[in-house]
């Protein structure tokens, strides 16, 4: 497997995550300044195409995700593992937000693409819910491909980082990324 040598800050984040996993609460205080910028970048990626008056702002998304992250009982493996979980938590927060704004119906009536779902506004809430449902279906068929989409698409992890988190080769990630996108495209195209 091809591996990228971790940057010094990445190594420090990994060490602090391990210390935090071992019960060192002071490691969490040292970790926050190192990951805060990356969490904002991740949240900004989700929110970058939103209206300026969207009811969920980037900072609120980061804060809510951070509160959920510190409650996690995880044996943290690496920086990439941490941001993979952060991406999953942010996705859940946004899905919950979209469901609240949709009300009892899920909406629908049009075909959507994976790229279109990057915009998470109230008008696009039904599309985000549709993507979540397609990812849930994918997880039933192939859990790893579902995680791959979360890590790459939502988490913004590189192929190398995704491979490290999932414990497979870079080539496997490239191949499965193509297949996962094709599966999701088919699922999203079935929306009537």
**Number of folded domains that form the chain:** 1
Say if residues 130 and 108 touch (Cβ distance below 8 Å). yes
Q: What is the pLDDT of residues 132-188, one digit of tens each?
A: 888 889 999 999 999 898 888 777 778 998 888 888 999 999 999 999 999 999 988
Range of the domain at 40: 8-189
Q: What is the pLDDT of residues 117-143, one digit of tens each?
A: 444 444 566 777 788 888 889 999 999
**Of the listed ranges 92-96, 107-111, 182-186, the one predicted with least confidence:** 107-111
53 is a domain residue: yes
pTM: 0.65
Q: What is the pLDDT of residues 37-76, one digit of tens each?
A: 888 887 877 666 555 555 567 788 888 888 888 887 888 8
H/E stretch holding 83: helix 79-102
Based on its alpha-carbon atoms, the radius of gyration of the chain, rounded to whole angstroms, reads: 17
The pLDDT assigned to 125 comes to 66
How many other CB atoms sit within 10 Å of the CB of residue 89? 20
The pLDDT assigned to 189 comes to 86
92 is a domain residue: yes
CA dihedral (120, 124, 125, 131) positive or negative: negative
1 is a domain residue: no
CA distances from 2 to 42, 166, 171, 174 (A): 25, 13, 9, 12
The pLDDT assigned to 102 comes to 66
17 is a domain residue: yes
């Amino acid at each position: 497997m091809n591996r990228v040598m971790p940057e010094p800050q990445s190594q420090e984040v990994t060490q602090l995550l391990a210390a935090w996993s071992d019960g060192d609460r002071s490691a969490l205080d040292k970790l926050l300044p190192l990951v805060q910028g990356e969490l904002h970048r991740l949240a900004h990626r989700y929110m970058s195409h939103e209206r300026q008056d969207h009811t969920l702002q980037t900072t609120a998304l980061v804060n809510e995700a951070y509160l959920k992250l510190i409650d996690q009982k995880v044996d943290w493996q690496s920086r990439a593992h941490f941001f993979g979980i952060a991406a999953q938590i942010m996705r859940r927060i946004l899905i919950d937000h979209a469901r609240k704004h949709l009300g009892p119906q899920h909406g629908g009536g049009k075909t959507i693409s994976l790229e279109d779902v990057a915009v998470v506004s109230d008008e696009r809430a039904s599309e985000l819910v549709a993507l979540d449902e397609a990812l849930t279906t994918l997880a039933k068929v192939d859990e790893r491909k579902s995680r791959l989409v979360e890590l790459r698409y939502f988490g913004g992890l590189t192929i190398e980082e995704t491979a490290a988190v999932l414990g497979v080769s870079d080539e496997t990630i490239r191949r499965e990324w193509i297949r996962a996108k094709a599966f999701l495209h088919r699922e999203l195209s079935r929306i009537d």
